[in-house]
Every structure is written in structure tokens, then in C-alpha cells.
């Protein structure tokens, strides 16, 4: 998920460990794995999923089959035998292409496309920020309020916000600003999910009101109606370079912090979705019968917690025993889940999804992101999860991120990754491919 500062000293230490270990007739692989993972490389890795990738690489590259040359180090790359000469090892090194290929690291064939797309987006963001920084540099150098510059750079943001939040007659959209809640008045009859929808909608409107007040203050400063203070100046400084002010980010940390206009439009889109879709479905009692999109929420993690609470209530089970959030794509055998939610709009990266399970990508033309079909998410106990695996497919715990930056983790979902015990897939293929799910295609 991010870059780590591995050094030549790490490589030297790892080489010493391997050299000492293979002197024995039978290397103590568990000890080797422990040293490499915890003492040498793993100490720098601070992400659970990156640690899982590291463990998979260790098991792939260091084992008896590699030493005996019954398995390839990588596709078409076999390790020299222990008695091969120095020239044989040198020949192997020179046979490796100067440009790293995805298959050399067990990555999917479209990995280059994913990397190039990510780099291109970062370059575009940097150029945009540079352009905006240059245009606002004069005011920053002088340290004084420049009304003309604020009007040029912040004025359009305020104007666009007004367009998004007002009706055709010029009045504020009540769906964005109304203080009343149209939810059921009797909280005792509300389910945990209904309560969540009501609170999420109220939270969304509070964010809208906060932003509206902040932009009105900026507008008043530009008109000369009020004096500039440090709080308003901090907000303006961020907006002048296209960033989201820190005080705003606190309201929605998972938003695109370096794209202020996108951030604002997403706030409006989510609030309207909560008003027109989620609140309406909650009132009609169809939230769990219709497919839902997690990207329409500010806090989808709390929705999943509410689903767990409601599952415990319906199934008369302790909440603490519901430990596995599974995706159901077909018959789950003799396991009957207490309840589930239909989810749509999830995006998959790092693997294909054929026959309702993870599959290896075979082409470098494969899209960087794959839209998954509608699935059911359900909370189950550990014993029920094991029964589902025995009946259907092997499952892999896959992280779900808010966006393709992989900065914020939403939850973990178990996805089918192979057949039952008679034809089980190697899950490391997908682990090394960095398989992940996203609620947003890009932010």
C-alpha cells in the first residue's frame, strides 16, 4: 500500500541468515521466516496487508522446492542448484530483463497499467496544485489579503456551491438544510440500521451547514462586510491552492483532501443520496431488500456495525461472536444467515472475478478496476464461516478501502477464491497481486 525504505543492509542481513541456514541438511524454514519477517524486513512494515504480502513472498522464494529446483522462482526463472558455478548464477542474473515485468513478482499482468494510472493522477494533481500555488504566490509573499485574487480563485468555488445548494427559485434546498427529521418518531420500533440512516442524514446536513457558513464568511470578507481573522485566513489559504481546509477535513477525513471542488460536490451528492434514497428506503422498510451503494455514505463503517447489531438481535446471538463479514454470491449450504444486506458498486483491483469468485487475470489489457455484481454481505460466527467454506469455496480476507489511494480502510470482506478442498486455489496469488475492494473508483 506504500513505499518502504528497505536498504542494502537489510539485503546483506537476509543473505547472512540464508547462508547460515542452508549449511544444514534441512533448513529450519519456520525460524528463517521468523527472522526475515520480524527481525529484518517486517520491522519496517506497519500495515497488516503489506505484512501479509511479505509473508507470501518469503514462503514463495524460500522453501525446499526452490532449493531442489522443482519449482520456479518466477515464471521461466529457475534457481541455480547449490553446486552450480558462479558463472551459472551470473548467467541467471543477466537473463533477467532490465525492465521489471509484473510476472517476475507474481503480480497480475495489468499491474503496469495500474501503476501508470496512479502516477499519472499524482502528476496531474501536482501540476494543478503548482498552477494554483503560482497564481496565489503574490499574496503569500506579501502576507496581505488580496481581494482580487480571492475573488478570482475562491469566488467560483462559492458560486458553484450556491448553485448546488439552492433551488431554481433561489431558496435553500430543504433536503440539505432542513433541521427536522422525517424518520419514524418511535425510536423503540426502529432497527439499528434505521437509526444509523437517521443519524447519518443529520450528520450530512450538519456538514453542509458548516461548509455553507464557512463559505459565507469568506464571501463577506471579500465584500468587505466583516474583518479577516486567522480562522478564515487558514480556510482561504487552503482553497487558494485547491486543497480542503483542515477544519473541513475533520468533518469528512476520507474525502479527497487535495481536490476541494470535488470534495464539496461529493458532500452534496452524499447528502442528497441520504435524503432521496436511504431515508426513503428506511421509511418504506426496503433498505435490506434493495441493493445499496456504500459510496453514498460518509460513514459506511458504522452502517456495517449497525448491520452486525441488527443481525445479533434477529439471530439472538451475542454481537462479539459475529466475527466474519462474508460475501454471499451463491448457495451457502446448510448455513442460514440471520440477515444480510445487498451491496452494489464495489470495485475490485488485483484479480478478476469469474464464475462468482476471484480469478487470475490473463491479459495486460485488463481494466485497472473491475465492477463487481450485486452481492449479499452478512455477519456470521466463526463456526458458520467454516461451514460455508467447507460447502462452497475457499475464502480470502480482502480489505475494503474508501478509495484507490488505499489510505483509509473501511472493513474486511471474505471473498471466494477457489473450489473446495478437492480443487483449492492458491490464495497467495491474490495476496501478492494486492487484491482489494474499493467503494469509490477514484478520489
pLDDT tens-digit series, residues 238-297: 999 889 999 999 999 999 888 899 999 999 999 999 999 999 999 999 999 999 999 999
Average pLDDT, the chain: 86
pLDDT tens-digit series, residues 234-244: 999 999 988 99
Strand order in the sheet with 292-293: 292-293, 341-344, 375-381, 322-328, 409-418, 394-401, 436-438, 347-349, 370-371
What per-residue confidence (pLDDT) applies to 113? Answer: 81
pLDDT tens-digit series, residues 329-382: 865 555 688 899 999 999 999 999 987 889 888 888 888 899 999 999 999 999
Describe the crossing of helices 155-165 and 260-273 by its angle, rounded to 10 degrees. Answer: 10
Q: What is the helix, strand, coil percentage profile of the chain, to 5?
A: 50, 15, 35
Span(s) in the chain for CATH 1.10.8.720? 8-109
Report the C-alpha gap between 406 and 410 in whole angstroms.
10
Span(s) in the chain for CATH 3.10.490.20? 293-438
What per-residue confidence (pLDDT) applies to 127? Answer: 80
Specify whether domain 293-438 bears CATH 3.10.490.20.
Answer: yes
CATH number belonging to domain 8-109: 1.10.8.720
Strand partners, 358: 353
What per-residue confidence (pLDDT) applies to 318? Answer: 95
Residues of the chain with pLDDT under 50: 138-139, 141-142, 184-185, 420-424
Report the C-alpha gap between 193 and 177 in whole angstroms.
23
Amino acid at each position: 500500500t506504500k513505499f518502504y525504505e528497505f536498504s542494502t543492509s537489510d539485503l546483506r542481513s537476509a543473505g547472512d541468515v540464508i547462508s547460515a541456514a542452508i549449511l544444514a541438511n534441512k533448513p529450519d524454514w519456520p525460524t528463517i521466516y521468523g527472522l526475515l519477517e520480524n527481525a529484518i524486513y517486517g520491522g519496517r512494515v506497519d500495515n497488516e496487508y503489506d505484512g501479509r504480502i511479505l509473508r507470501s513472498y518469503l514462503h514463495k522464494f524460500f522453501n525446499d522446492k526452490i532449493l531442489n529446483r522443482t519449482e520456479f522462482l518466477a515464471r521461466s526463472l529457475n534457481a541455480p542448484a547449490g553446486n552450480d558455478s558462479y558463472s551459472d548464477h551470473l548467467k541467471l542474473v543477466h537473463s533477467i530483463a532490465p525492465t521489471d515485468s509484473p510476472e517476475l513478482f507474481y503480480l497480475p499482468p495489468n499491474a503496469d497499467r495500474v501503476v501508470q494510472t496512479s502516477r499519472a493522477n499524482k502528476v496531474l494533481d501536482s501540476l494543478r496544485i503548482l498552477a494554483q500555488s503560482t497564481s496565489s504566490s503574490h499574496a503569500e509573499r506579501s502576507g496581505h489579503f488580496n481581494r482580487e485574487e480571492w475573488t478570482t480563485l475562491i469566488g467560483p468555488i462559492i458560486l458553484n456551491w450556491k448553485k448546488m445548494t439552492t433551488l431554481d427559485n433561489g431558496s435553500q434546498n430543504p433536503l440539505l438544510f432542513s433541521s427536522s427529521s422525517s424518520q419514524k418518531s418511535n425510536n423503540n420500533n426502529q432497527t439499528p440500521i434505521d437509526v444509523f440512516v437517521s443519524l447519518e442524514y443529520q450528520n450530512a446536513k450538519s456538514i453542509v451547514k458548516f461548509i455553507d457558513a464557512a463559505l459565507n464568511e469568506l464571501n463577506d470578507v471579500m465584500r468587505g462586510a466583516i474583518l479577516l481573522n486567522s480562522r478564515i485566513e487558514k480556510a482561504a489559504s487552503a482553497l487558494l491552492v485547491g486543497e480542503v481546509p483542515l477544519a473541513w477535513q475533520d468533518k469528512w477525513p476520507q474525502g479527497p483532501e487535495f481536490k476541494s471542488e470535488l470534495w464539496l460536490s461529493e458532500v452534496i451528492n452524499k447528502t442528497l443520496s441520504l435524503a432521496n434514497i436511504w431515508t426513503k428506503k428506511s421509511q418504506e422498510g426496503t433498505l435490506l431488500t434493495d441493493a445499496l451503494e456504500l459510496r453514498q455514505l460518509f460513514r459506511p463503517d458504522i452502517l456495517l456495525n449497525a448491520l452486525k447489531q441488527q443481525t445479533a438481535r434477529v439471530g439472538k446471538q451475542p454481537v462479539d461472536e459475529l466475527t466474519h463479514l462474508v460475501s454471499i454470491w451463491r448457495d451457502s449450504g446448510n448455513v442460514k444467515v440471520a440477515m444480510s444486506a445487498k451491496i452494489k458498486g464495489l470495485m475490485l483491483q488485483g484479480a478478476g472475478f469469474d464464475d462468482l469468485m476471484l480469478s487470475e487475470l490473463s491479459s495486460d489489457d485488463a481494466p485497472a478496476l473491475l465492477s463487481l455484481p450485486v452481492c449479499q454481505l452478512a455477519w456470521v460466527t466463526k463456526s458458520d464461516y467454516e461451514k460455508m467454506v467447507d460447502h462452497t469455496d475457499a475464502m480470502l480476507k480482502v480489505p475494503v478501502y474508501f478509495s484507490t489511494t488505499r489510505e483509509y480502510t473501511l472493513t474486511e470482506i471474505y471473498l471466494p477464491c477457489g473450489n473446495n478442498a478437492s480443487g483449492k486455489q492458491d490464495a497467495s496469488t491474490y495476496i501478492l497481486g494486492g487484491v482489494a475492494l474499493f467503494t469509490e473508483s477514484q478520489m
